[in-house]
């Protein structure tokens, strides 16, 4: 169940669709892909009302994987590519391109059930993008991957975007959002609670916390600022501060009279910070 959700996904960008379990992300994805019909409203695909002709332009990697476990890898990829409208020759050409890229040549004659979870995930990803879709929807794509293969997949996602694909990326991993997404929408209890470019969302969030590096030790002044963390490293003092009744400019001017300042910077909120704050509103 979704509550009057309206989002616009910029073309050729990686759009993060975020939210806790049960928020409505999967329901929205099912409506976008035409798997589920909306009770009201409409879906536009490149400005046109979504219809059957657009389905072949979408690649969808669901959180619940759907490969045929008894079927051989090569046969399965060719079959799924043909379902998306490719000729047999196109399907073979595209399959071998991705097989070579992911070093999967030895798997073609193996049934899916004989592969590890990570290997199956690679096959599922190739099946998702084998027909060169213009819209790619990835629901928790890094599940089952070790760090090396996760980085390989990240590189491929970025390359697909650079080649013109629009990508909807649904995940719980905020570090992946930090690395990949230029725009996000966060859903909680079936409603949009946060939306916009990651750059703008992080820059407009007001902060009173700062990072400071000085040549000499400073003492807190509870009326003006408090020290949250203090470390002495490589002959310099490193601080995390929270300003109270003093502006950053006045604080720097006051401090500069007594010590050399090597760094003073506002603490920019992470996507995880924004995520938690939005869920608490």
Q: Per-residue confidence at 206, pLDDT binned at 50, 70, 90?
A: low
User: How many domains does the structure of the chain reveal?
Assistant: 2
The CATH number for 25's domain is 3.40.50.300
**144 and 264 in one domain?**
no
**141 and 172 in one domain?**
yes
Residue 244, pLDDT > 80, answer yes
Q: Which residues contact 15 (CB under 8 A, 6 or more apart)?
A: 9, 166, 167, 168, 169, 181, 182, 183, 184, 185
Q: What is the pLDDT of residue 253?
A: 92
pLDDT digits (tens, 9 = 90+) for 160-204: 999 999 999 998 778 888 889 999 988 888 788 888 888 888 776
Model pTM score: 0.79
Residue 274: inside a domain, yes or no?
Answer: no
Q: What is the pLDDT of residue 37?
A: 82
Of 170, 185, 202, which closes a domain? 202
More confidently predicted of 232 and 245: 232
More confidently predicted of 59 and 268: 59
The CATH number for 237's domain is 3.30.70
**140 and 75 in one domain?**
yes
**32 and 64 in one domain?**
yes
Of 148, 172, 202, which closes a domain? 202
| Pairwise CA distance, residues 241 & 226, whole Å | 6
**111 and 238 in one domain?**
no
Of 154, 178, 202, which closes a domain? 202
Give the H/E segment covering residue 117.
Answer: helix 117-129
Residue 8: inside a domain, yes or no?
Answer: no
pLDDT digits (tens, 9 = 90+) for 104-116: 889 999 999 999 8
Mean pLDDT of 248-266: 90
Residue 4: inside a domain, yes or no?
Answer: no
Mean of all residue pLDDT scores within the chain: 88
Percent of the chain with pLDDT over 90: 45
| Pairwise CA distance, residues 130 & 133, whole Å | 8
Residue 268, pLDDT > 80, answer no
DSSP type of residue 269? P
User: Residue 260 belongs to what domain range?
Assistant: 206-269
Q: What is the pLDDT of residue 205?
A: 64
Q: Per-residue confidence at 279, pLDDT binned at 50, 70, 90?
A: confident
């Amino acid at each position: 169940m979704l509550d009057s959700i309206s989002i616009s996904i910029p073309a050729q960008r990686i759009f993060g669709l975020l939210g806790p379990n049960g928020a409505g992300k999967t329901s929205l994805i099912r409506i976008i892909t035409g798997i589920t019909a909306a009770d009201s409203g409409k879906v536009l695909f490149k400005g046109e009302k979504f219809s059957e002709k657009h389905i072949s332009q979408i690649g969808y990697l669901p959180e619940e994987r759907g490969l045929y476990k008894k079927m051989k890898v090569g046969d399965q990829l060719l079959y799924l590519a043909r379902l998306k409208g490719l000729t047999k020759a196109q399907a073979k050409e595209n399959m071998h391109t991705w097989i070579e890229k992911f070093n999967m040549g030895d798997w073609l004659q193996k049934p899916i059930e004989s592969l590890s979870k990570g290997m199956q995930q690679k096959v599922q990803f190739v099946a998702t993008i084998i027909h060169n879709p213009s819209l790619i929807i990835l629901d928790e794509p890094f599940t089952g991957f070790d760090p090396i293969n996760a980085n390989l997949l990240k590189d491929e996602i970025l390359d697909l975007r650079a080649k013109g694909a629009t990508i909807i990326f649904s995940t719980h991993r905020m570090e992946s959002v930090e690395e990949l997404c230029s725009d996000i929408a966060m859903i909680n209890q079936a409603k949009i609670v946060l939306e916009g470019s990651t750059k703008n969302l992080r820059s407009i969030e007001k902060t009173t916390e700062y990072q400071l590096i000085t040549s000499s030790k400073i003492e807190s002044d509870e009326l003006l600022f408090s020290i949250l963390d203090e470390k002495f490293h490589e002959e310099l003092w490193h601080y995390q501060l929270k300003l109270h009744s003093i502006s950053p400019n006045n604080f720097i001017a006051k401090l500069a009279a007594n010590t050399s300042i090597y760094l003073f910077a506002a603490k920019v909120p992470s996507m995880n910070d924004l995520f938690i704050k939005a869920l608490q509103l």
